[in-house]
Amino acid sequence: MIYLTRKAEFSASHFYHNPEFTPEENQRVFGRCNNPNGHGHNYTLEVTVKGAVDPKSGFVVDLKQLKDVMSREVLDALDHRFLNKEVPEFFAMIPTTENLAIAIWQRLAPKLNAALLHRVRVYETPDLFVDFYGEA
Amino acid sequence: MKAHLTRRYMFSASHRLHSDRMSAEENRATYGKCNNPYGHGHNYMVEVTVSGPVHNHTGMVCNLVDLDGFVHTHILQRYDHQNLNLLSEFAREVPTTENLSIAIYEIVKRGFHKAHLEKIRIEETMMNSFEYTGEGR
């Protein structure tokens, strides 16, 4: 079994707000991230796939296909977007880095043919990242 | 849905690698430059990885304010700008980064209960890092 990781970057804005919370609760739980005008990050995405090395090609996965799927399913949808207002998953779900990792997994998993998705890692800043392994 | 969350922190500390269970020659042979009697220092980078379900109401595994608060109070204030050899956890253990990883793991495991502790990873320099997941405790 070989693990292969491909990196990509995207920039997006977001804010954290739960409509079921009072304004005070939102402020207490989310702090500065609750500013309704949003703020932004340069996100780094790492997608790790796993599989056996194909004896004919020597590849675990066709990198071109992986890159195309990441570009089409993730970067085109998220890069230079306001996540709360432009990305359907986040119309009713808070765009924390945790939920972003889950959403990216759900976008990628059905589109990756041969390779098995192993991990989605999303860096919000160099000092903070989330890993999602598809666990329920 | 279960996710893993990792946060990085920095602190600077000094140490000397020296074991009372070895002779002076053995210490020098084992630890080399790190056995210098006056000690030396590093900028340590600590990664704390916690996991848990992403809560519906917050979208979070745990609130970073809670994790940051705990780490600042119990890890950074304890280790930053200190000589590790003088701390109680290193009275009998050599303050290698292996043992430092275990010490920090134990502090977080014992005191932080807002998410499940998965791993402590420490970079002592850009060229080496150590991980402890609680195995063999």
At B136 the pLDDT is 85
| pLDDT value of position B68 | 98
Give this prediction's pTM. 0.88
Task: Report the C-alpha gap between A34 and A17 in whole angstroms.
Answer: 6
Residue B128 domain-assigned (yes or no): yes
* pLDDT number for residue A125: 96
pLDDT per residue as tens digits for the range B30-57:
999 999 999 999 999 999 999 999 999 9
Measured in Å, how far apart are chain B's first and last C-alpha atoms? 28
The answer to whether position B23 is within a domain reads yes
Give chain A's mean pLDDT. 94
A38-50 tens-digit pLDDT: 999 999 999 999 9
CB pairs under 8 A between A and B: 61
pLDDT at A87 over 90: yes
For residue A30, list chain B residues with Cβ-Cβ distance below 8 A. 58
CATH assignment of the domain containing B76: 3.30.479.10
Residues contacting residue A103 through CB under 8 Å, at least 6 positions apart: A87, A89, A90, A93
In a domain, B56, yes or no: yes
Rounded Cα–Cα distance for residues A106 and A77 (Å): 13
Catalytic residues of B: 34, 81, 124
Does B119 map to a domain? yes
B27 and B35 in contact (C-beta within 8 Å)?
A: yes
Residue B137 placed within a domain: no
- The single residue of A17, A33, A118, A135 carrying the catalytic annotation is A33
Q: Are A135 and B10 spatial neighbours (Cβ–Cβ below 8 Å)?
A: no
Of the candidates A79, A82, A71, A83, the one whose C-alpha atom is nearest the C-alpha of residue A111 is A71
| pLDDT value of position A59 | 87
Average pLDDT value for residue range A116-127: 96
Q: How close B58 gets to chain A, by Cα (Å)?
A: 7
Structural domain containing residue B21: 2-132
Model pLDDT, residue A115? 67
Residue A61 pLDDT > 90, yes or no? no
The string of pLDDT tens digits covering residues B65-96 is 999 999 999 999 999 999 999 999 999 999 99
Complete domains list, chain A, with CATH: 2-132 (3.30.479.10)
Task: Please say if the pLDDT value at position A113 is more than 90.
Answer: no
Residue A58's pLDDT is what? 87
Chain A residues whose beta carbon lies within 8 Å of the beta carbon of residue B54: 96, 98-99, 102
pLDDT tens for each residue of B83-130:
999 999 999 999 999 999 999 999 999 999 999 999 999 999 999 999
Q: Is A16 on the interface with B (CB under 8 A)?
A: yes
Considering its fold, how many domains does chain B have in total?
Answer: 1
Give the pLDDT of residue A57.
Answer: 83
Taking CB atoms and an 8 Å limit, are B54 and A96 in contact across chains?
yes
Amino acid at position A60, single letter: V
The beta-carbon neighbor of B4 closest among A20, A21, A131 is A131
| A114 pLDDT above the threshold of 70 | no
